[in-house]
Homo-oligomer: A and B are copies of this chain.
Amino acid sequence: MGAMRRPTMTDVAREVGVTAKTVSRVLNDGPVAVETRERVLAAVRKLGYQPNLMARNMRVGARDAAIGLVIPEMGNPFFGTVAGGVESAVRARGLTLIVGSSDEAAGLEQSLIATFLARRVSALMVVPAASSDHRHLRSERVAGLPIVFLDRPSAGLRADCVVSANREGSRTGVAHLIVHGHRRIGFVGDVPASLYTRRERLQGYRDALDGAGLPYDRALVETGHDVEAAARATMRLLSLADPPTALFAGNNLASMGAVVALSRAGRKDVAVVGFDDLPLAEALDPPLTVVAQDPAAVGAAAAEMVLRRLDGDRSRARRTTVPTRLIARGSGELPPR
């Protein structure tokens, strides 16, 4: 018994002695005699028949009951949680979510989007890669395909988008450090500098400094995309001639890097506030104060938006902002020095 062809409707039909159309009707709840229906179903089970969704979708011209989501990295729990939020919302409607990772590269993102489109997904959700451009999606939008961007807005395309309150959240976090007496506050941010979230959060940092009449010192702004790079960035800040007494970390990896670096350096006196919560934040010494995002809520909000669009909502593109929340645990309340 070699590798055999997957059975088709016609095979099932032949087995029962009817036409493919009758099988089709059985499977689509059309009008079929009870007895026939049962024989067809029996044959379906016997042959292990599974309808070919591709052929079906092609015929009915419908889009696929799947929604494509593109995220920059699979391994980063932030995006994983976002995807989880999207999935539960989407699943509740009987739709399937298929996820792919762009590896933060515009080229991969575009080809991933192309394969999703070629698969005729019924909607597209995208966390844009750092330097991507979405002009190429204009024709899709015109053709009525719902497209929603998450965490970062689109470039070159008016479209729905759901983001965290980056600037406001950062301002609050940095202001918190200022209230506790800090005047030199380092910023450990994501890379590249052009990244939307990084720009917004840096802007919030500057807002807070401005609000307190403190100067903006470029020497206090460092960068690193992964944990180790962020740790090195932190070390550079600490070894400045006039080092910061507090750090603001611009995302989860930067927070980890800062925490790791301080721990290696044995510095428990440096105040830290991180953007985005960490699962072990409370177990650190001192426990980490954070500006918590709600990644699952970002995903869920974006999914709701997509579902509304699928239901025919044709209103203007809207930007939704998911609030952040300051959670004071200790590291952000340390006094200077």
Q: Hey, which bits of chain A sit against chain B, CB under 8 A?
A: 1, 3-6, 48, 50-55, 57-58, 64-66, 73-77, 79-81, 83-84, 87-88, 91, 96-101, 103, 108, 112, 114-115, 117-120, 139, 142-144, 227, 256, 259-260, 262-264, 278-280, 282-285, 287, 296
Contact = CB atoms under 8 A, between A and B. Distances in A.
Given A143-B6, A279-B256, A112 B96 contact: yes
Given A50-B118, A260-B283, A99 B99 contact: yes
A256 B285 contact: no
Contacts of A259: 280, 283
B139 A48 contact: yes
11 contacts: A5-B143, A48-B139, A52-B118, A53-B119, A54-B54, A54-B57, A65-B115, A74-B87, A77-B80, A97-B100, A99-B100
Contacts of A283: 256, 259-260, 262-263, 284
A274 to B, nearest CB: 11
A119 B119 contact: yes
A85 to B, nearest CB: 9
Question: Which 5 pairs across A and B sit closest by C-beta, in order of nearness?
Answer: A3-B144, A53-B118, A74-B84, A263-B283, A98-B98
Nearest to A49: B139
Nearest to A255: B280
A325 B262 CA distance: 26
A101 B115 contact: no
A113 B115 CA distance: 19
B48 A58 contact: no
B115 A53 contact: yes
A55 B114 CA distance: 15
Counted per complex, copies of this chain come to 2
Which of A117, A143, A287, A296 has the most chain B CB atoms closer than 10 A to its own CB? A143
Nearest to A96: B115
Nearest to A69: B99
Contacts of A279: 227, 256
Contacts of A84: 73-75, 101
Nearest to A283: B263
A285 B282 contact: no
B53 A143 contact: no
Contact of A58 (B55, B76, B77, B79): B55
**Residue in A83, A262, A278, A283 whose Cβ sees the most chain B Cβ within 10 Å:** A283
A142 B3 CA distance: 6
A63 to B, nearest CB: 10
Contact of A285 (B99, B114, B144, B285): B285
A201 B73 CA distance: 29
A231 B66 CA distance: 37
A75 B55 CA distance: 34
Contacts of A280: 256, 259-260, 278, 280, 284
Contacts of A114: 50
